[in-house]
Amino acid sequence: MLDFTDTPIEAPIQNWDWAPIKEVPIIENNEPLVSLSYLPEKLIVSPQYFIQNLPGAYPELFARAHVQEKLIEAARKLPYGYKFVVFDTWRSIPTQQALFDQMKLFVKRDHPTYSDEEIQQAALRIVALPSTDEKKPSPHNTGGSVDLSIIDEKGRLLDMGSPFDDISLHAKTTYYEVDDTSDKYEEARRNRRLLYHIMIQSGFTNYTEEWWHFDYGNQNWAKLSNQDHALYGATKPVFPWVKAY
């Protein structure tokens, strides 16, 4: 059995390039979105963008049905008493736009001499471009992306060396494997390995710029796992009385 915390993370790619990923064809399998709130003994739902009052964010988190099954499979590999805490899954286009616009403001604040193109490219390192193109959907808009971490048996988040939605280079999945290998971050290094290897072994792929972001079924997943096509395109929850974005 794989020793998750002793096995270094070797990212499949070091420099993420959106262009070839967006060329992966999508053959939509029409799998529904399902709620992630109904199995709290395995998954704790913490809808961060609703909590932060972002446009288009819901108080519930939804993912494709098979993604939910994969998450439960992964949760069973956690140490006794540990659980996943899920921060974000399916994301509306208004929420994606709000995040992207805010990221550009952060970049401009930190790099006042950047050109508009440099700001755009720096923002894209952390937040995907909002898209209404059915052939090039934002990963989270497919219901196949999951942002998550781990809590211990006392309900405390494990130390991952940087917080969820960190915009610094510390957020890169392999940062503590490559850029800072000091003993100071050994606990964070081992915790990242635990999350990474459990998710990868359960069939997910990782967005290498963010230790918390994993994919299944969308174009990110298809490209990194050498699939002929993605399974999920853009989607949205269906409610009988509410218009979804």
Q: Give the active site residues.
A: 210
Q: What pLDDT, on a 0 to 100 scale, did the predictor assign at position 131?
A: 85
Does the pLDDT of residue 127 top 90, yes or no?
no
- Average pLDDT estimate for 160-187: 95
Does the pLDDT of residue 2 top 70, yes or no?
no
Q: What pLDDT, on a 0 to 100 scale, did the predictor assign at position 11?
A: 81
Model confidence at 239, pLDDT cuts 50, 70, 90, reads confident
Please check if 229 is assigned to a binding site: no
Question: Under a CB-based contact definition with an 8 Å cutoff, are residues 70 and 202 in contact?
Answer: yes
Note the pLDDT tens digit of each residue in 65-89: 999 999 999 999 999 999 999 999 9
Q: How many CB atoms lie within 10 A of CB 198?
A: 23
Between the CA of residue 93 and those of 10, 96, 99, 104, 244, what are the distances in Å? 32, 5, 10, 17, 10
Question: Under a CB-based contact definition with an 8 Å cutoff, are residues 100 and 126 in contact?
Answer: no
> Strands, E, within the chain: which ranges?
33-35, 43-45, 62-64, 83-88, 145-151, 205-206, 213-215
- Average pLDDT estimate for 184-190: 97
- Average pLDDT estimate for 9-38: 92
Residue 8's identity, in one-letter code, is: P
The answer to whether the pTM exceeds 0.85 is yes
Q: How many Å apart are CA 95 and CA 38, to the nearest integer?
A: 24
Q: What pLDDT, on a 0 to 100 scale, did the predictor assign at position 92?
A: 95
Domain range list for the chain: 18-225
Pick from 197, 210, 212, 216: which is nearest to 77 by CA?
Answer: 197
Does the pLDDT of residue 192 top 70, yes or no?
yes
The region of weakest confidence among 12-16, 60-64, 200-204 is 12-16
Question: Under a CB-based contact definition with an 8 Å cutoff, are residues 90 and 237 in contact?
Answer: yes
Q: How many Å apart are CA 150 and CA 14, to the nearest integer?
A: 24
> Quick one: tokens of 11?
């990212």
What mean pLDDT is reported for the chain? Answer: 93
User: Do strands 213-215 and 33-35 pair parallel, antiparallel, or not at all (unpaired)?
Assistant: unpaired
Q: What pLDDT, on a 0 to 100 scale, did the predictor assign at position 1?
A: 42
CATH number of 18-225: 3.30.1380.10
The region of weakest confidence among 146-160, 191-205, 227-241 is 227-241
**pLDDT above 70 coverage of the chain, percent:** 98
Does the pLDDT of residue 120 top 90, yes or no?
no
**pLDDT above 90 coverage of the chain, percent:** 80
Please check if 170 is assigned to a binding site: no
Q: What pLDDT, on a 0 to 100 scale, did the predictor assign at position 132?
A: 85
Please check if 213 is assigned to a binding site: yes
